[in-house]
Structure 1
Amino acid sequence: MEATELIKKVRQIEIKTRGLSNHIFAGEYHSAFKGRGMTFSEVREYQFGDDVRNIDWNVTARLNHPFVKVFEEERELTVMLLIDVSGSHEFGTQMRYKRNVATEIAATLAFSAIQNNDKIGMVFFSNKIEKFIPPQKGRKHILHLIRELITFTPENSETDISEALRFMKNAIKKRCTCFVISDFMDDRFEDALKIANQKHDIVALKVYDKRETEIPPVGWMKLKDAETQQIRWVNTSSSQVREHYRRWWIENHTRTQTIFRKSGVDHVSVATDEDYVKALMSLFHKR
């Protein structure tokens, strides 16, 4: 991609996603993702109904009048985006690839984070850690993340979500909010997800395409696995073949949702032909 084309693409995504953050998600994001705890702010005179456990006895003794400590939410968060860049994300039949949708979702979350003065970092993963961008603040940093989302080319095409979760858990020492953006074709991540969610606040965003849920009856079709590169011919005119594939999708999707629930992880699914704004709003409201 040439420099001028890249700048134009980055600008288009910035305008769209920053606008969503400013006008739609600002309040919802703040409410949905809390700070790490409460920090001391000031003392004030005791008022009827105040919790006696918050009385500042040193100030009270010195002024001979009851005073209480006032606390406020420690707002600043560290937000991590774990982005699946395996081969299966280079797929889409509804005008957009899964990778394009993931890029816009990631950019929207990034702008929402910096509006709340949060740090934002990113991990690109396949079946290994492809790239780690440490959390920082500021518009310049966000634009760097968007450029990477657009241009990054992974070395590997397979998927290992567990490896990404283990890396994130060890790389980020303090508790953070971590969005895992993937199609979750890999279903071997349950143990790693449970462990990571004990230390961090994990949120799963599943991106999929309509054509992954069912195969249209168009005769013999040559299919290639984007991750293993295996090629096979499939007779899509066969109702048995289509039904077998449909059941596989339902079972895989159900198994993934069960893993999220058992692990205590908030999650939402977004199709490439759907409005991801509604999905994110639904997620924020559930929290």
Structure 2
Amino acid sequence: MPDSKRFLHPEAIKRISRLDLRARHIVEGFLSGMHRSPYFGQSVEFLQHREYAVGDDLRHVDWQVWARQDRLYIKQFEEETNLRCNLLVDVSNSMRYGEGHLTKYEYACTIAASLAFLVLKQQDAVGCLTFDDKVRARVPTRSKKNHIFSVLESLNVNTPSDKTDLFAILNGAVETFPRRGMMVIISDLLTDPEPFIKGLRLLRQRGHDVMMFHVMDDDELEFPFSGPTRFEGLESSEHLNCNPRSLREGYLKALEEHLAKVRRGCAQNTVDYSLIRTSDPLDAVLATYLSNRLGMHHRN
């Protein structure tokens, strides 16, 4: 098994496949619920007509054709297709930040591995694409159980580099994954929100259902620094020596403006958005998120 097995620890597998008894019910209900939703797999589309034969189900007779031609024809449909879930994971340098149990990169990869595990357990198909300003790894959408190892290997990026170019990635994903399905984007979104929102719009226009996991560290959300501090850019060679207390108010104001743009862009494009701290327990995050998704689709 590749080094990326660290993204799916045995204890994590137990928690995530179970997510305690209630959460397990949520996950299984959520995934089967997706099969009943027009936004997810299990769609049945008309394919062609064929002449009626004795024993055919009369429910499939096209009575409009019979009225015009006085002959019985059966409507044939394409085979039901399962959920196709594609994971788009940001592995750029800014994702390496973190001093707690998990960096943003480790946390994002654990989310991706967990969702891949759940989707494959449901015998549905999952694919994966890791990126910074370009695609770093691409895994086709497959449903075999051992496909999890290909997904995990794609997440194992040892030398991330460059900035995030989300519009280019999302635009490319439209071509990489042309069949309608679920797109799960996992990123810290430390980029201009306008091109990102443009990319979301493109995915939605192609009929994809889109989830956005916005992963951030507590430090980025709270800016708790005090005393003389040196800040170094993870995606540039720039640095800043300063007293962070003088920056805190302006930083938090700029952050809230950025988050507001992201939330608004997701809402305008009917994208499910969740802001997640790396300090949040992953199993609880997934249970809450899937529960909210299930409840939303039951209301629709």
Question: TM-score band, normalised by the shorter chain?
Answer: 0.7 to 0.9
Q: 1:85 aligns with which of 78, 85, 91?
A: 91
The aligned counterpart of 1:216 is 224
| Structure-2 residue corresponding to 1:198 | 205
User: Closer, same or farther in 2 for the Cα pair 1:230/1:284, shift >3 Å?
Assistant: farther
SS of 2:111's equivalent in the other structure is: helix
Report the AA paired with residue 256 of structure 2. I
- Are 2:176 and 1:176 equivalent residues in the alignment? no
- How many residues align? The count is 272
Matches within 5 A, 1:40-79: 44=57, 56-57=62-63, 74-79=80-85
CA distance in 2, matches of 1:212, 1:224: 14
SS of aligned partner of 2:163: coil
What is the rounded CA distance, in whole Å, between the counterparts of 1:228 and 1:94 in structure 2?
Answer: 23
TM-score by length of 1: 0.81
1:237 has 2:237 as partner = no
Gaps of 5+ in 2: 47-54, 68-73
Describe the shift of the 1:29–1:4 C-alpha distance in structure 2 as closer, same or farther (beyond 3 A): closer
Q: Is the 8 A contact 2:163 2:235 kept in 1?
A: yes
- When residues 4 and 181 of structure 1 are mapped into structure 2, their CA distance, relative to the original with a 3 A threshold, is closer
Match of 1:109 among 82, 99, 115: 115
Supply the distance in 2 between the matched residues of 1:286 and 1:229 (Cα, whole angstroms): 44
2:44 match: secondary structure: strand
The CA deviation string for residues 203-233 of structure 1, in whole angstroms up to 9 with x for no partner, is: 1111111110122242111111211232111
Structure 2 letter corresponding to 1:27: G
Contact 1:6–1:147 under 8 Å retained in 2: yes
Q: Matched residues in 2 for 1:4 and 1:104: separation? A: 14
Q: If the length of structure 2 is used for normalisation, what is the TM-score?
A: 0.78
| Aligned with residue 106 of structure 2, among 92, 100, 119 | 100
Percentage of pairs with the same residue: 25
**Which residue in the other structure is 2:296 paired with?**
286
1:124 matches 2:130: yes
Which residue type is aligned with residue 285 of structure 2? Y
Which secondary structure state, in structure 2, belongs to the residue aligned with residue 213 of structure 1? helix
| Matched residue, 1:64 | none
Q: Indicate if the aligned counterparts of 1:269 and 1:279 stay in contact, CA closer than 8 A.
A: no
Q: Distance in 2 between matches of 1:16 and 1:146?
A: 18
Offset, 1:140:
1.1
User: What amino acid is aligned across from residue 198 of structure 2 in structure 1?
Assistant: D
CA distance in 2 between counterparts of 1:130 and 1:147 reads 12
Q: Which runs of 5+ in 1 are unaligned?
A: 47-53, 62-67
**Residue identity in the other structure for 1:112:** L
Q: Which amino acid aligns with 2:123?
A: N
SS in structure 2 of the partner of residue 205 of structure 1: strand
Deviates more, 1:252-261 or 1:226-235: 226-235
Residue 257 of structure 1 aligns with which residue?
Answer: 263
Which residue is 2:152 aligned to? 146
User: Using a 3 Å threshold, how does the CA distance of structure 1 residues 24 and 103 change in structure 2: closer, same or farther?
Assistant: farther
Between the aligned partners of 1:17 and 1:103, the Cα distance in structure 2 is 14
Report the secondary structure of 1:131's partner residue: strand
Distance in 2, matches of 1:145 and 1:283, equals 24
Aligned AA (1:127): D
CA distance in 1, matches of 2:113, 2:229: 36
- Of 30-39 and 132-141, deviating more is 30-39
Kindly report the root-mean-square deviation, in angstroms, between the aligned alpha carbons of the 2 structures.
Answer: 3.3
